[in-house]
Amino acid sequence: MLKKLLIIALMSAPLYSQVPVGSAGAKFLSISVTPRASGMGDAFVAVANDPSSIFWNPAGIAHLRQFAFFTSYSNWIADGRVPAFAVIFPKYPIGTFSVFASGIYMGGFEGVAFDENHNIVETGTFSYSAMQLGFGVSRFYTDKFAAGVAVKFIDENLGNVTSAYSVAIDAGTYFYTGFKDIRVAMSLQNLGADMSPKGEYDLWIMKGSQVTTEKRKYQSYSLPLTFRLGLARDFIKNGNKIKRLTGSVEIINPKDNRESFAIGFEMQPVEILTLRAGYHFNLDEGGFGAGASFNLGNKRFDISYNDFGHLPDVVRLGIVFAK
């Protein structure tokens, strides 16, 4: 039943809604693929400084000075699977270069249609899949200020029903204030052209006992444009009992939903272990996040947990490798 309701929402909300909430499509772009960010309750834009930053704030990859690789996997609602990866190539003449991709797959949806006698019949199962594939460039323009941009191709496929594609841009900045290790960062995600589903659908109209059909074209829908503004500070750095303690706050302003804010912390008690916790406020469901990293030389293994209230909780796994 959950899958049936979800596919109706996926198809109907972006195509027919006239209100801001739920008006955007390609919502897989709003799913976090970064265990580190999710473990901090999504308060990450001003902390982003590793290969996963390309998915949150493209300016963050400017911190990297060596080849690095990131991959992650998340379980999602209705048996969704969300993989992602990013590869970072530093020391390019124009800055740090990255290639990245993420996507989602959800199978087992039950299709239905009307037959010639206007009875509802099953048409078999179909799947929903979507992906983004892109590249980004970032660099420090001064010793305190970095900026980055990413260009990506987006594809969304609703089985044998319809499909759509678009091109979008992510952009971000990162600024060290020079005051008490405070940095301020912002990012703009999914700025691009509307997605226009291919093909037509049959609109069934009932007048009394008579049923007629009308061919209609799918309406276009916008991408989930999101603006993030955050501030972070290292309260402890190279300490004796605790190696590092970082706090972060973030305001999230999506085009298709109400504004929310998040607060998160990252603590490294010993070299091998990093702990995280945070809360994303003003969500419809859940908000708490927690996570950990195990640091083994040039490898890092991430895990995060996020509470989704009445919906299934989400666990993310990730690996970071730097050469």
Mean pLDDT is lowest, of 89-98, 130-139, 245-254, for 89-98
H/E element, 15: helix 2-16
Phi-psi region of 20 (alpha: psi -120 to 50; beta: other; left: phi over 0): alpha
Phi, psi of 39, deg, nearest 5: -65, -20
Nearest to 106 by CA among 132, 125, 75, 128: 128
pLDDT band at 115 (very low <50, low <70, confident <90, very high): confident
What per-residue confidence (pLDDT) applies to 103?
97
| Residue 5, pLDDT above cutoff 50 | no
- 234, 181 in Cβ contact below 8 A? yes
What per-residue confidence (pLDDT) applies to 3?
47
Q: What is the mean pLDDT of residues 122-128?
A: 83
Q: What is the mean pLDDT of residues 293-305?
A: 96
Max CA distance (Å), the chain: 80
What per-residue confidence (pLDDT) applies to 111?
79
**Distance between CA atoms of 239 and 267, rounded to whole angstroms?**
11
Convert the pLDDT of each residue in 14-37 to its tens digit.
Answer: 444 444 676 788 999 999 999 999
- Mark out the alpha helices in 201-257 (DSSP H runs): none
Convert the pLDDT of each residue in 50-65 to its tens digit.
Answer: 999 999 999 999 999 9
**How big is the CA angle at 250 (ends 69 and 25), to the nearest 5 degrees?**
70
Q: Quote the tokens at residue 278.
A: 């945070």
**Distance between CA atoms of 275 and 293, rounded to whole angstroms?**
7
- pTM here is 0.87
What per-residue confidence (pLDDT) applies to 7?
43
Mean pLDDT is lowest, of 35-44, 112-121, 242-251, 306-315, for 112-121
